[in-house]
Structure 1
Amino acid sequence: MTTKTTSLRSVAVCAGAGGLALGLEEAGFEPVLLLDNRTVACDTLRVNRPAWNVLELDLLDFDPADYQSTYDVDLLAAGLPRVKATASVRRTERDDELEVLKATIMLMHGIRPRALLIENVPDLVTKPAYEPIREYVAKELTHLGYSLHWFVLNAVDFGVAQDRKQGVLVALDAALPNSFTAPGASVTRPRTVGEALGPSMAARGWPQSVTWAAQADRPAPTLVGGSWNRGGADLGPTGSKRAWARMGVDGGTVADDVPGPDFVWDPSIGRPGMMPLTVHQAAALQGFPPDWIFAGRKTAQYRQVGHASPPPVGRALGDALKAALASSPRTAGNL
């Protein structure tokens, strides 16, 4: 007779395309509620995980008292919009990204999970300009009885073929033994773009795919989702586009399909001789599984991919959190 293991329970806010939630699910965290304010992101979550309880709502309007499932959860997880260096907790005018961060911290009062996980820009952890925000967060969470762990991870250290640094905050109920350790690298060498995308480049019979993959011998630069309010999809700012051009990739747009047998790859003639990546190739560079579906039109799909947290990093963080929480499991009365 086997004993069923009780899943750890999580609430995910600003869930986006589900990268962080997917990684946490692989580590054993069952999401009881996922919240996002974009219809297309909620559609993505629902089409991939029909059993997930997805709520389309602005975080600033969310009241956990209306959702009994949020009580007694183990983890509140948030892949938040990128806080700007100019943000200040004392500013009188509204800063949307900072307001979302503050709303997440305030949720800790109502949900009181055993742990909090926030993923954001690495500068939030390392730069002096963000110190007032870190002080605000520390004051609120230590008052509630949580211990804080700030650190930076790079997705390339977890098998993701992309140089993508992420700033992370983990807060644990201070009643837990101080056993949390930030995850260490899970690979011994970086995965290259050629390794990640070589098979897809060959899928339609492009004869130069092997040659291209051999010279794409480094991780990708950080994918950038860009603004939801303007512009089309591209792979990032000017510096990123130059890095892509050195691998013979047109970073100025996103393709509908991979190269076919008649495409002639010749980077010496500029963009016409280079191929752009598809949405699903970008998703592969983020570490999403190949069967993960992104809702919406091409630009909206790419925005979701570019803004996502890589699932392998979420898995590593989930494993580290699970180990820390296992040192003091929930009592039967709280299950």
Structure 2
Amino acid sequence: MTLLSITEASHKLNLSVDTLRRWDKGGIIRSQRNEHGHRLFDLEEIERVQKKSSVREITKPDFKVLKNAQKNGLNSIDLFAGAGGTALGLSNAGFEHLLLSEIDKNASATLRKNRPDWNVIEGDVGKIDFTEYAGKVDLVEGGFPCQAFSYAGRSKGFEDTRGTLFFEFARAVQETMPKVFVGENVKGLHRHDNGRTLETMINALHSIKDDKGRTYRVAYKVLRAQYLDVAQKRERLIIVGLRSDIDSPILFPKEKDYIISLWEAIGDVPPSPGQQYPPRKKAILDLVPAGGYWRDLPEELQREHLGGSFHLSGGKTGMARRLSWDEPSLTLTCSPAQKQTERCHPEETRPLTVREYARIQSFPDNWIFEGNTTAAYKQIGNAVPVNMGFHIGQAVEAMILGGNLESFDVVEELPRTN
């Protein structure tokens, strides 16, 4: 690895400092700071990204859904399964699912349509009795929604989280005592209510204990999908618990030193349904270049398109956004045509289609989404990218079965406060 300052890298590769700063801020390259606080960049990584700028001339689209050839003998319970992003990623990593829980009828239908052999339980997770799986589960995984908490005391474990869907996740862990649990949520969870929400969750997870005295060592880390074989800048906070009798450090996927461009992901995507822009909106977005947004418009059109938001100091970076072939997509939302979170195709003036959305989330082309187009966008936008789920599964496998620690990031467990 050759580390250079931003000025040295600029001169070495004939790139502007502004370009390197934009790539760094956008999560395209990763700077690291030396002992003086100065940013340093990996020369080889920048060269790989630089090649993406002419990716359409030198490569064909190369979309890959990661999958191991063999099962690993481990099983899992998947909660809040949605359209199956994490579930499919874990399955591709070698896990067999004992149970998948999902309340949304369209998402449940999607799971059944694509994997008729999966045990999908549709409805309220609070009505599921997990005790029949006690001592039989290797992994409990769930992307629980983040709801409001009551913090009176903040030291009562489960009692502080009752009435929330996180409690149902923790209850599933308590009733089954898996070797590992994985919880997933938005990056901002660690800042929610000045950190008290996450603190309450960690306290509850630390309070889990069985009649053998086994507890869990817990850690969390923000994972960035754009460095985990996903053509998307998407960050998720992952909480991992390792049962106290498992002799392993807590492991997380290690970021790769390359990115997947939008061209590589959707350059040859098959046709599919998608939303369209109204004529006036399309006429305005026609003027936005690839990689650009509302600031690339004339001021009179900025004012017209942004309306009252024009005078706001922030919250406008998603407006009139056109993606770039050379970079990963911005984070997908539940609708690619909403003004605040527009995701316009790099070349054609239209929102991304359902199949393009799915490719960016690393779903295979044969994964069918039940319901109408709006329901499909919602299911895909809410999903954890399949390839991210695959990498999480590999880290869980290494904790349980052993593996090369150099292939993963070792994260120290959080101290107990109860």
- TM-score tier after normalising by the smaller chain length: 0.7 to 0.9
Structure 1: which amino acid aligns with 2:350? M
**2: CA distance, partners of 1:60 / 1:28:** 28
Change (3 A) 1:322 1:136: same
- The question of 1:234 aligning with 2:336 is answered yes
Which of the numbers 134, 140, 144 marks the counterpart of 2:204?
A: 140
- Compute the displacement of 1:282 (Å): 0.2
Is the aligned partner of 1:79 residue 2:143?
A: yes
Q: How much has 1:195 moved relative to structure 2?
A: 2.2
Bigger drift between 189-198 and 149-158 goes to 189-198
Q: Deviations over 1:269-323 (max 9, x none)?
A: xxxxx12221111010001111111111111111100000001111101100100
Deviations 1:256-280 (A, max 9, x none): xxxxxxxxx5xxxxxxxx1222111
Counterpart for residue 299 of structure 2: none
Kept after mapping to 1: 8 A contact 2:202/2:218 = yes
Among residues 229, 235, 252, which one is paired with 1:165 in the alignment? 235
Taking the aligned partners of 2:71 and 2:111, their CA distance within structure 1 comes to 25
Match of 2:380 in 1: 305
The verdict on how the C-alpha distance between 1:108 and 1:246 changes in structure 2, with shifts beyond 3 A counting, is closer
SS at structure 2 position matched to 1:35: strand
1:62 positional shift: 2.0
| 1:6 to partner: Cα distance | 6.2
- Say if 2:359 is the partner of 1:284: yes
Pair 1:317-2:378 in alignment: no
Distance 1:155 1:5, change over 3 A: closer
Contact 1:194–1:212 (CA under 8 A) maintained in structure 2: no
Amino acid paired to 1:184: K
Quote the residue 1:116 is aligned against. 181
Counterparts of 1:185 and 1:9 in 2: how far apart (Å)? 25
Equivalent in 86, 89, 93 of residue 20 of structure 1: 86
Structure 2 length-normalised TM: 0.60
The residue that corresponds to 1:184 in the other structure is 254
Higher mean C-alpha deviation, range 174-183 or range 318-327: 174-183
Root-mean-square deviation over aligned CA pairs: 2.9
Instruction: Specify the alignment match of 1:90 in structure 2.
Output: 151
Q: Percent identity?
A: 31
Opposite residue 90 of structure 2, the aligned amino acid is L
- In 2, distance between residues paired with 1:159 and 1:51? 27
Please tell me whether the aligned partners of residues 225 and 388 of structure 2 are also in contact (alpha carbons under 8 angstroms): yes
Is the contact between residue 345 and residue 352 of structure 2 (CA under 8 Å) also seen in structure 1?
Answer: no
- Contact 1:11 1:70 (8 Å CA) reproduced: no
Counterpart in 2 of 1:217? 326
Structure 1 residue 70 displacement after superposition:
6.0
Say whether 1:195 aligns with 2:304. no
- CA deviations 1:84-142 (Å, max 9, x no partner) are 6xx33338xxxx997111221122221111111111011223x2635222222222222
Conserved? CA contact 2:232–2:329, under 8 Å: yes
CA distance in 1, matches of 2:241, 2:339: 33
Residue of structure 2 equivalent to 1:131? 195
Distance in structure 2 (CA, Å) of the matches to 1:61 and 1:101: 14
Over 4 Å off, 4+ runs: 211-215
Matched AA of 2:263 = G
The 1:77/1:199 distance shift into structure 2, 3 A limit, reads same
Matched, 1:46 2:112: yes
Provide the C-alpha distance between the structure 1 equivalents of 2:235 and 2:248, rounded to a whole number of angstroms.
25
| Alpha-carbon distance between aligned partners in 2 of 1:280 and 1:15, rounded to the nearest angstrom | 20
Which residue of the partner structure matches residue 226 of structure 2?
156
2:267 match: secondary structure = helix
Q: 1:218 to 1:16 in 2, by over 3 A?
A: same
Aligned pair count reads 273
Distance 2:71 2:336 in 1: 44
Indicate the structure (1 or 2) with the bigger Cα radius of gyration. 2
Q: How far apart in 1 are the matches of 2:393 and 2:338?
A: 28
Partner of 2:407: none
Question: What is the identity, as a one-letter code, of the residue corresponding to 2:216?
Answer: Y
SS of equivalent residue, structure 1 residue 199: coil
Q: Which residue of 2 aligns with 1:56?
A: 122
- The answer to whether the Cα contact below 8 Å between 2:233 and 2:328 also exists between their aligned partners in 1 is yes
> What is the CA–CA distance in structure 1 between the aligned matches of 2:239 and 2:185, rounded to whole Å?
8
- Name the CA shift for 1:112/1:236 in 2 (closer, same or farther; >3 Å): farther
| Contact 1:19 1:288 (8 Å CA) reproduced | yes
Q: Give the whole-Å Cα distance in 1 for the aligned partners of 2:230 and 2:109.
A: 25
Alignment match, 1:247:
346
CA offsets, 1:52-93, max 9 Å, x none? 11111211222223xx34651011010222x26xx33338xx
Mark the CA change 1:284 to 1:137 in structure 2 (over 3 Å): closer, same or farther: same
What is aligned with 1:333? none
Could you say if the C-alpha distance between residues 62 and 117 of structure 1 is closer, same or farther in structure 2, counting changes exceeding 3 Å? Answer: same
Is the 1:33–1:70 Cα contact (8 Å) retained in structure 2? no
Instruction: Quote the residue 2:7 is aligned against.
Output: none
Amino acid in the other structure paired with 1:325 = I
